[in-house]
Structure 1
């Protein structure tokens, strides 16, 4: 299979020193691109020592920005994305490629239980992501946030404008592929402990956690999020009206019940508008594929 390997890296000297020799040994003729995202350690020197292609950012732009740079630079029909921190086993690439040959447009290396995650908090967050995304697409999603995946390059490039410059590119790209009707598969993998310092920040990424929850919905089908929310809000308004009427002995709307019912209607209309905008958002990508 014609494929390129893209590795985003910011200060990943230790991980690349472990991963690049294994990749070069197993895939000597394959294009390997390391996107050096403004590293200040020996990342560039390690890449040069192993003869891989390097795309360098003059300053750190984020994991998603590195992914976009690597995707634009890649020449293969498919792209293998993997992290530069030494967690991913190059031997698993072959298993993902076999899955692609079954007709999948994206194949994700799905991590296992809590032992394969960095912490209990991250494992819990990822489990919630997976559950919500599975509910949205009506299909079991084993790992929404894994950075180890193979994608059809042409189809991936059509969604490049959707990808954030930060860390949520796996979530965005997975939901975009599902929304466009492309085939997404999963292959179980194990990951090693990362080498080097983690770039995860508890406060910053805690906020990002909640933003991703909303992003999952808006990327696939906003109405599946907005409609239940509108029914809940409007239902509270009706309940407030009934309880108030029973306690006062008269059937009349209070300001609170009126406000809640109107708020529910507004939320529903916002979801309807968001659904139409989402359809337009994916129109160009599907037409480009055709």
Structure 2
């Protein structure tokens, strides 16, 4: 593998899985720069990184998966960045498949998890909803919106560092940013194995946060396309309610007025969001 490739691995207390992952990466990709970003780890992550002679970046406290990704991207020297999880889900042998697709002219290649890959039933359905919504927004099929396994050109990725959140939803943000900026994205099917160690995703807290991904998808790509149907929903609800009350009581109710006003406000919010979105991408390469 070329020395122009940097493999970035955000890690939080993943000593056990790194003991297996790092030697496999060294064996299969000896020419690559390997960067482990320890996000406030309290285990022996530093020790295993020294043993396998990889670059170690340390956060003094846990800042989030997205923050670790950004730290790794800033420090990497390669022209191509490969991001993968430290928990053993991603197979180092899949990296050449991502890179070969990148060489075909794509700007970013994402490893799309197989339906039988390790995941809870709830998360599986949630991912299907995310993928469907994102596909509708961009007008192209998106196989895996939230996958953390991807290869991308470093110069293009760094353009959007300021947009990336510090939490777990960075894959959604960077994917929609690439589509919005007119960069090409493709997917390569992978099988994500069962993770080693304990998951850092909290069901209730992160369940609410992942729900917000749905709104982020809309606001990152085409806010008006997201807000306009909501505005229409309020408008027609108000219209039907008005017709009902007019026929029944012969007057215009406060509820009808509230629904019409809400419809207008949601539409205006969509217009403003659309203009802000344009400003976010005004400096991206075409």
Q: TM-score, normalised by structure 2?
A: 0.97
8 A Cα contact 1:117 1:123, kept in partner: no
* SS of match in other structure, 2:69: helix
1:58 aligns with 2:57: no
Which one of the candidate residues 74, 77, 80 is aligned to 2:79? 77
Q: Describe the superposition over 1:60-110 as per-residue Cα deviations: whole angstroms up to 9, x where unpaired.
A: 111000000000000111100000001100000000001101111110000
Distance 2:62 2:253 in 1: 54
Match of 1:96 in 2: 98
Structure 1 runs (4+) deviating above 6 angstroms are none
Q: CA deviation at 1:209?
A: 1.9
Question: Equivalences for 1:83-162 in 2 at 5 Å?
Answer: 83-113=85-115, 115-162=116-163
Distance 2:119 2:189 in 1: 17
Distance 2:166 2:71 in 1: 10
Q: CA deviation at 1:118?
A: 2.0
8 A Cα contact 2:111 2:189, kept in partner: yes
Distance 1:29 1:142 in 2: 30
Distance 2:167 2:53 in 1: 28
Q: CA deviation at 1:117?
A: 3.1
Q: CA deviation at 1:135?
A: 0.6
* SS of match in other structure, 1:116: coil
Unaligned runs of 5+ in 1: none
Distance 1:210 1:111 in 2: 20
Q: Describe the superposition over 1:179-236 as per-residue Cα deviations: whole angstroms up to 9, x where unpaired.
A: 0000000000001100011101011111102211111100001011110000000110
Q: CA deviation at 1:279?
A: 0.3
Match of 2:5 in 1: 3
Q: CA deviation at 1:138?
A: 0.5
Match of 1:280 in 2: 279
8 A Cα contact 1:104 1:185, kept in partner: yes
Match of 2:48 in 1: 46
Give the root-mean-square deviation of aligned CA atoms. 1.0
Match of 2:242 in 1: 241
Match of 1:197 in 2: 198
8 A Cα contact 2:118 2:193, kept in partner: no
Match of 2:18 in 1: 16
Q: Describe the superposition over 1:148-186 as per-residue Cα deviations: whole angstroms up to 9, x where unpaired.
A: 000111111110000011100100000000000000000
* SS of match in other structure, 2:195: coil
8 A Cα contact 2:169 2:210, kept in partner: no
Q: TM-score, normalised by structure 1?
A: 0.96
Distance 1:96 1:29 in 2: 16
Distance 1:149 1:180 in 2: 18
* SS of match in other structure, 1:108: strand
Aligned length: 284
* SS of match in other structure, 1:283: coil
* SS of match in other structure, 2:141: coil
* SS of match in other structure, 1:246: helix
Distance 2:141 2:19 in 1: 35
